[in-house]
Amino acid sequence: MTSAPAGPPLPPGHRAASPEVDDLDDLVRLLRRHEREARGWPGADSDAVAAEVTGRGASTHLHETVRDADGVLRAWVSCHDRAAGRVLVGVTVDPDLPEAQGDALATYCFGRVEDLGREVMARRGLRSAQLDSGAFADDPRQQRWLTEAGYANVREWWQMTRPVDRQADAEPPALRPGVEIRRVRRDDGVGMPLEEDLRAVHLVLEQSFADHFNSYRETFEEFVSRLREDPGHRWDHWWLATVDGEPAGALVGTVQRGGVGADGLATPDGTYVEYIGVHRRARGRGVAKGLLRTVIVDAAVRGRGSVGLEVDADSPTGADGLYRSMGWQTRYVTQSWHRTLHLAGSLPAPDGTSG
């Protein structure tokens, strides 16, 4: 077990515990029920859940499960130490519960988030941290719970997708003079990537996102380790762009496993753009478009069905215009909800929020 509860009590007849391997199937089923109710279709991937709970990503996550008197999994709390001062929060409550029971469990779970969040802060020696949670735009239940727990809706994100035509999209991109795009180099072409290239990707992305909403710096080690936790991670999905020989842009993609779409039909594997960034000094040179065309061509060659990505609805660069011009369309919308958490005795944030 993690730290003892200090907030609202666990509803009578329920028990809380840290999840183990035997809980994974139930966690996936719970998450898929929630997605079906809140978004319209399920998408949770068993490999991703396993990586987060018991696999490579477990060291940066704290979890708690709640089961009722019959042993049925009813709630799941997750806190991810995403970066220094930023904790990603997940609270999933069974959508099949009556409203009063769901509300009671949500109150307990968001109280546990504070306990686990302070545990993350203590590990890093921090006095305060941002709790960063989310909701689907069409999920008023989750939004109500977040509001009641003291979170504020601060941003919306368009989850976009583009179909891939295996023939029409297989033509290599035409790049402007001075622009080159290549995969990160690997030892003998198949081994581990060269650290020089990985550091170039990290540096370009850090610099590209420095002026973007809610950007938190990650060390090189944190960045690479976190991306490798994703079961869809592949080294041959990392690209580096140079302009006149200098690193100027980067794209990191992952394999997005196929599943069942909103129409109930099976969908093939796709590619997901985890990161795409272009340094300010290179903007206007067609680097972003070149990187996007590169990942589309790669997906077509691999026989993928789509390329997905996320874009800030209030992006200062107007990236959504480029995406739409290249065939991307919004599939659904998510929201970011934030709250500042403090250790006992620390001063509140300038906005007046406190833990």
> What CATH number is associated with residue 185?
3.40.630.30
Percent over 90 (pLDDT), the chain: 81
Q: For residue 213, what pLDDT band results from cuts at 50, 70 and 90?
A: low
Give 136-183 pLDDT, tens digit per residue: 999 999 999 999 999 999 999 999 999 999 999 999 999 999 999 999
Q: Regarding beta strands 15-17 and 61-67, do their DSSP bridges make them parallel or antiparallel, or are they unpaired? A: antiparallel
What is residue 262's predicted lDDT score, i.e. its pLDDT?
60
| Encoded tokens for 269 | 């594997």
Look at residue 348 and tell me if it is in a domain: no
Residue 334 pLDDT level (bands cut at 50, 70, 90): very high
Q: Which residue type, as a one-letter code, is found at position 290?
A: G
In a shared domain, residues 244 and 299: yes
Q: What is the pLDDT of residues 71-104, one digit of tens each?
A: 999 999 999 999 889 999 999 999 999 999 999 9
Judgement on whether residues 192 and 124 belong to the same structural domain of the protein: no
Pairing verdict, β 270-278 and 306-312: parallel
pLDDT at 347 over 50: no
Helix (H) or strand (E) holding 66: strand 61-67
What confidence score (pLDDT) does residue 76 get? 98
Based on the fold, state whether residues 84 and 140 are members of the same structural domain: yes
In-domain check, residue 97: yes
Position 349 scores a pLDDT of 45
- Tally the domains of the chain: 2
Quote the domain boundaries for residue 62: 15-157+336-342
